[in-house]
Amino acid sequence: MARQMQRRSAFTLLELLVVIGIIVLLISILVPALQAAKKQAKYAQTQSQITGISNNIEQYFATFMAYPGPVPLSGSGTSTTGATNKISGSQNLLLALSFGMISSGSSTVTAPNVAIPGSNPIPGSSPLVYLSVNPVTSNGPVDLGNGNKLYMPFYNATSTDVQTVRTSIAAWTTTTLSGSPNPDPTTPNAGLFPALLDRFSDPLPILYFRRDYTADSTKPLAADSGAPGAASYYRAENKEYLDGIIRSPSGATFNEGTLSQYSTGRSGASGLSSTISAMYPTTGATSRGGYVLISAGYDRIYGSRYLGASVMDAPSDDVVYVGGY
């Protein structure tokens, strides 16, 4: 009698283990590749964003024959004259490109408009007012020297690109906005005016440094601070983001004051100088550009990352653009 062949109805244990092993191996290969591709996509998005912003800056320059920043260097960061109630370079750039700003004619400002805190940075006019703190509905910049002529926004801000950030060094130092400055990075900082953020998963401000054209080629490329004409660029324009803890709108915190190459405790202004000079030659006055844009890169730390006083953990992966040649 012929024996009938019996069909197997299931895999053996050995076969299942082999299949599972193959799947695990494929996952171990694919997941890092997917993560790297995602990171590269964020980097490319931020590069494209910064290229677009540089184009907007050049459009602004063609219109006003000056690089963006209605608040002068003496009124931003802690850069030149030491005046109080500063705004950061990132906020100053956004104010110029996307927001309307007019002379209020009085000391009373109603919401959702926000007054520039402290003394008026533009002599001879009433306290200045941002027309709105909402970047999506902003009317665009106003030419205060040309009959308050209104322009369309040079940068079309979105709610993703433009948000307020939290920092242990308050960007505003006045009680007229949202209470006294709070050094706790888990709570909103004292400023209502937002900053221009990059496209990484934990977005941080794009640093904007505007050149001081009163400094000639014999002066340093960058300095921490100083009187007008002391250097071409001042690190302190964005001190709020470089000397303490900054909290992304995603909730992640980054201790720039401990880890950043640009912090006071690190190389500070010389670190900024080396970053700029690595991008372009800086031997002559005309080769120093007109502005610098910096995103913190994958690691969310501005400049090279440090573990200790002088121990570098990783070289800089920042997205850097020097424009205005």
Domain that residue 273 falls in: 40-98+153-323
For β-strands 291-295 and 207-210, DSSP reports them as: antiparallel
Tell me whether residue 74 is in a domain. yes
Tell me whether residue 276 is in a domain. yes
Mean pLDDT for the chain?
A: 73
Tell me whether residue 114 is in a domain. no
Q: Which residue has the higher pLDDT, 161 or 108?
A: 161
> Which residues are CB-neighbours of 324 under 8 A, at least 6 positions away?
57, 61, 67, 211, 289, 290, 291
pLDDT at 100 over 90: no
Query: Model confidence over 5-14: pLDDT tens digits?
Result: 556 567 788 8
pLDDT at 76 over 70: no
pLDDT at 126 over 50: no
Q: Which residue has the higher pLDDT, 55 or 168?
A: 55
| CA-based radius of gyration for the chain | 25
Tell me whether residue 207 is in a domain. yes
Tell me whether residue 63 is in a domain. yes
- When pLDDT is averaged across residues 94-101 and rounded to a whole number, the result is 75
The CA–CA distances, whole Å, from 302 to 3, 231, 317 equal 77, 21, 9
143 pLDDT band (50/70/90 cuts)? Answer: low
CA distance 253 to 245: 7
99 pLDDT band (50/70/90 cuts)? Answer: confident
Tell me whether residue 2 is in a domain. no
Tell me whether residue 119 is in a domain. no
Q: How is residue 75 written in tokens?
A: 């009124």
Q: Which residue has the higher pLDDT, 102 or 92?
A: 92
pLDDT at 103 over 70: no
pLDDT at 216 over 90: no
Tell me the whole-structure pTM to 2 decimals: 0.76
Query: Model confidence over 21-46: pLDDT tens digits?
Result: 889 888 888 887 777 778 788 899 99
pLDDT at 109 over 70: no
The CA–CA distances, whole Å, from 59 to 31, 67, 92, 166 equal 42, 9, 16, 30
Domain count, the chain: 1
Query: Model confidence over 253-303: pLDDT tens digits?
Result: 888 988 999 998 888 888 898 888 887 765 555 568 889 999 999 999 999
Q: Is the dihedral of CA 171, 173, 177, 182 positive or negative?
A: positive
Q: How is residue 54 written in tokens?
A: 């540089």
Q: Is the dihedral of CA 123, 72, 324, 282 positive or negative?
A: positive
Tell me whether residue 4 is in a domain. no
Burial of 14-40, coded b for 16+ CB within 10 Å and e otherwise, reads eeeeeeeeeeeeeeeeeeeeeeeeeee
> Which residues are CB-neighbours of 5 under 8 A, at least 6 positions away?
none
Q: Which residue has the higher pLDDT, 215 or 194?
A: 215
Q: Which residue has the higher pLDDT, 177 or 325?
A: 325
